[in-house]
Amino acid sequence: MSDWVIPAPLSQPVPRRVKMTGRFIAGLLVLALVPGALIVIFIFGLLIPDHQRLMFEARGVGIDGKVLDLEPGHGTGRNSGPTIRYIYSPKELAGAPDPIVHGEIAIPLQDYRALRIGKPVPLVYDPLNPKHAALKSVVEAHRNEQGSPWWRWILLLVVVLPISIMSIPGAFMVGLYFREKRLLTWGTATEAKVIREYVSDYKGNRTSNITYTFKDAGGLTLTGMGKVYLGQPGDPRPILIAPTAVYDPRDSKRNMLYPGSSAKLL
C-alpha cells in the first residue's frame, strides 16, 4: 500500500497562487549586482562625461576666469593629477547676491605648466547653469578630437561583455521560474518514485539531484529530473519516501518534482 498523500498546498483548486522562493530571489539579486555595478560605471565613466562635453561644445559661453591656486597633485589615485581653483563672474549672475563663482577641477599637465596664480584662465561655462564651467583648452581638445578615444571602447567592452555573459544564467533562472509557476498554478499532482539520487556538496551546502518516474492520468509512465536543496550537513533531510510530481495535464512531458526550487505555493 502506498504511503503517498497529495500535499495540502496542491490540493487547492486551480489556479493556485504562487510566489518566488527566497532562495531564488537571492540568486536573482546576486546576478543583478554585477551588471548593475557595471551599468553605473558605464553611466558615470562614459555617458555623463560625453553629455557634459557635448553640452559645452553646443552652448558653452567663453569667459576669462582668474586662477586662485594650482595644485600639482600626488599619488596614483583617480584624483591624483593637477587641479586648479578659479573664480569667474558670468553675466547671468550680474546683480545676484553672490555674482562670483568659485570652482575647482582637474586639469591636464600641460595646462598646469602654462597657468599662473593670479593670471587669467580661459573658461567655458553653461549659460543655463552659470556655476558649471570647464577649461576652454579641454573643450577645444574634445571638439577637435577625431573619433572616440580607445579607452571608451575598452570601457564599453568591459560593461557589455560581462552583462552578456551573466544574462545567460539570468535568462535560464527566469525561464525556470515561469515553468515552475505554470506547473504549480495549473498542474496535476501525482505520486512519484525516486530511481536515482546524487548528492553533491559545495562549500557545505548539499544538493540532491534526483531522477524520478511517475504515471500521468492516461497511465503513461514518464521520467523527470529535479533538484532538492539539503542545506548544511546538520540540517534535516527532506523526506523522499513518497515524493510528488506535478505535470501539465495537457502535456505530461512538462513536469517537476514538488516543491521545486524557484516557485512555491501560498
The average pLDDT across 194-201 equals 84
Whether 155 and 45 have beta carbons less than 8 Å apart is answered as yes
Q: What percent of the chain has pLDDT over 70?
A: 76
In a domain, 232, yes or no: no
Taking only the tens place, the pLDDT of each residue in 98-151 is 899 999 988 888 888 889 999 999 999 988 889 889 888 888 877 666 545 565
Phi, psi of 46 (to 5 degrees): -130, -55
The average pLDDT across 5-9 equals 89
C-alpha 77/C-alpha 155 separation (Å) is 18
* Residue 51 banded pLDDT, cuts 50, 70, 90: low
* Residue 74 banded pLDDT, cuts 50, 70, 90: low
CA dihedral 66, 69, 74, 78 (to 10 degrees): -40
DSSP state of 259: T
In a domain, 47, yes or no: yes
Range of the domain at 50: 38-156
In a domain, 191, yes or no: no
In a domain, 31, yes or no: no
Enclosing H/E stretch for 133? strand 129-135
The average pLDDT across 181-208 equals 85
Check whether 232 has a pLDDT greater than 80.
no
Phi, psi of 223 (to 5 degrees): -120, 140
Number of domains comprising the chain: 1
In a domain, 212, yes or no: no
The average pLDDT across 176-193 equals 93
The average pLDDT across 198-220 equals 84
Phi, psi of 203 (to 5 degrees): 55, 40
Check whether 46 has a pLDDT greater than 70.
no
In a domain, 179, yes or no: no
In a domain, 254, yes or no: no
* Residue 252 banded pLDDT, cuts 50, 70, 90: very high
In a domain, 30, yes or no: no
Range with the largest mean pLDDT of 37-46, 80-89, 183-192 = 183-192
Residue 228: predicted pLDDT: 76
